[in-house]
Structure 1
């Protein structure tokens, strides 16, 4: 009896294989009458990949005529080729083919198969210690699509991965909850082996993380009972490794070594090199713990040999070149063949058109050369004149711009420096006028007022010098601010406190001047407008950042209703922005004002 191949037969085979009905899958392939030999080769490869007969899988795949494949079979070809390379520890090629398989499945709208590759790629990235990549977005995409489409087996795989991400002592509740959620999606009898896998994961957690060895024994035995029904060597291998880990924790090294040697005798091809590398490292360590150094050394040598053969670090060079993956040679040939006739037609048509217009072009070109020769000299003269005019305009613009900037700077300095100093002197005169008959420190106030006027005089005089800071020429920033606070505090109606932290070294001179002017303007605003009795200035340097906080307990204001120009806030904001800083103003009517400024020092370094 023979079967006629159907378009979706591979899904029937896949279903049988996932149910571990190996004979049933083999029977369908054997009894089907194939019209296309590539179809049979792909079905054979599908069977051999699942049963881990990697050599047979490669032979069938290499004999596939890729030029004759339909779009869905192209996806299957890339799918099986990627899985075979991964199982053979050729991670680099496995990655490249997996990327292309996912893209091809998306093209043919096979979304379930495409989504499966999100998990495949996630595991490739997550398992490689040599590759610096964040694969979480692949896992999130895999989970979202599985849940949205109600693909139960993929939803279960998603919760298993979440459990593994939380695999530590403090997350016992999260681990068990996610594993139990996965079991809820695997109640169907067809998912028996998947349930066994979850029991094995629980056993590993109880053994390696919490060391609840009785619970570890319980779950590994549950897994073993299920797996023995199917007699799959590579699953038996992992079960023996897990049992050995539990006996090792109990200190029974003899039984541990016995279990590991049983695992060594199992014949299986899935990740054979990586598994043997891992197994031999365990045996080397266990024999060393038993002080059997000779046997330990033998297994250590075997471990090193397999580690070098796998050479994962070198294989992952191409993983950093995702966008430069080359097309498969045979697929490229197919594309070239499809475009060959089209290119020939274009070339022939283009030749006819070219012959038709060459004569016309030659005629027009002769006349054009004459005109160009006559116009060339005139054009050169015009270009030279235009260039000279542009240069002249550019020079004039630069001069005007420089003059305007200088005027703006002078106006700003007069407002921020001299204006602030005279405002303080004016306040003191006002204080004298109101309390001239009741002041005990009259001489001090006169002396301070005289000093302020003298300071204003010197500031105006020093503005003629390019980099003279007035206040900061001989002092650093902190003493200058402390002096500013002292002068502002001469009236008993306002006390200004200065605190500083981390400002051990002087800053760039221009930067110190700019910061001083900002603080000076803020203090002037407090004196003029705040009606405050107390104010504080705090400067804190954190590495390459300077934080400035100016606070007062004055009457505050409504930020949305005030005139920034009148308060000088516009000028302050411009200065802060010039220093690439940020300014935040917090004021409430009746509760004072707090202004916070952050200035990056590294950006403003000389």
Structure 2
């Protein structure tokens, strides 16, 4: 336990340390020109900028700021000083004093009706209670902070307090509530277009699924976080997201993919000379190699992680003093400029007031014009959106009609082949057999009739096979899983390609358009593998996960080049068209086996 700092020390002024005993000499020289009434403000700004890097110095400084604010009866500055003291004690691990000072700040801010400061108080109090694992009190504080942020329309405050509430439910083990608040925070972040907040919430969603062991969903959230980080140009965030994705790949035991993402993160970390990231990467790799029983590489990466960890302390210490002096010098210059401008500002304010009256009418007219233009553009945009929506629905309907017409034509042709041509050929076969039995012919003629019979038998078999390919009877009668299994067996029967087919969570039939669509898609993917991939191993998985049906087709062939993918293959265009008609998603990427991994996700309703 940290030793508690007694409250009474704040009120002893006879033996209070001078500022020269608290701050560095170089900074004290700059404080000499500041008026007493501004010293508390300047000290608070110094503490707020340096409380993480220089905690001991900031602790002494904030006590002095509290004394100055109390002696001059500066309530707003005192409330700010109390809040900063609470943060310092919290970081020090002295949570009793941290809560005491935050509540003192809260009391003054309530008196002054400083709602923005109150929101900050409640959020900081929530953080302390969460650290103490008093989750109900933490939740109460976060809810109050969220209410004030909502009232004041503090957009980022709304998002982050919703996110903090989610962290409390996650800590309490209420996973569904946590996910609900994270999703609400993400929805608000999208509404307010706060990209960095979107990344934070998505990362938390990824963490909760990763902790629950659902590495696939966690990976998808981390990938979306990575997309946002790249969009915002957040290189550090991109590296952290890559590390998180690599961690999920380790959980899935997809070692090559994990190594790929660790390598991508390492490139960024080395480019930015970010030793903390390099420590995380090497530490993650060490865990991965330990999981793989590769203890030599595990030891090598653990050793590298230790080296980077040791370098962090020396690196940060050198930067801190330079940053402190630069920030304080800038603050001092700003304060001096502010004091010089104060008198001029008072004189100019009367002139500005008269100008404001004249400008008010003009501004009102301009504002009215802007509102009219805005409403007109909004109406036009709404009309354009409705037109595009109708166009999209028309396109979807046309595409669906084409696919349905194709399938109906396939059914008709399959039926005609089976019931018409097939039956006729069977009749010819029986007639030839009867001809041999009933007519006296020489051996040479009998041999020719027998050869003709074999030709008819072969033709009957080809017609039957073509009929089944046009519309497999097994798909109509037994469903998707038996149909795909039958198609794979027939496709690879006479090839050197080995295959495995797995299905999970599938107990019911699906809608006809979904079954036909997925069957045709898998058929087209298998044909592409046989013709173009050069693979000798194929893996097919069909998974039902909640309201999503997922088809994974993976091979170990020669893969593809993304730059050439769009210019090749009617087959891929057919796959994309079929996926669109059943409102799904289609993605192709390099597989961990160095071949190709095709992923098709189809939404299904009510478990069907």
TM-score between the two structures when normalised by the length of structure 2:
0.34
Q: Which has the larger radius of gyration?
A: 1
TM-score relative to the length of structure 1 = 0.34
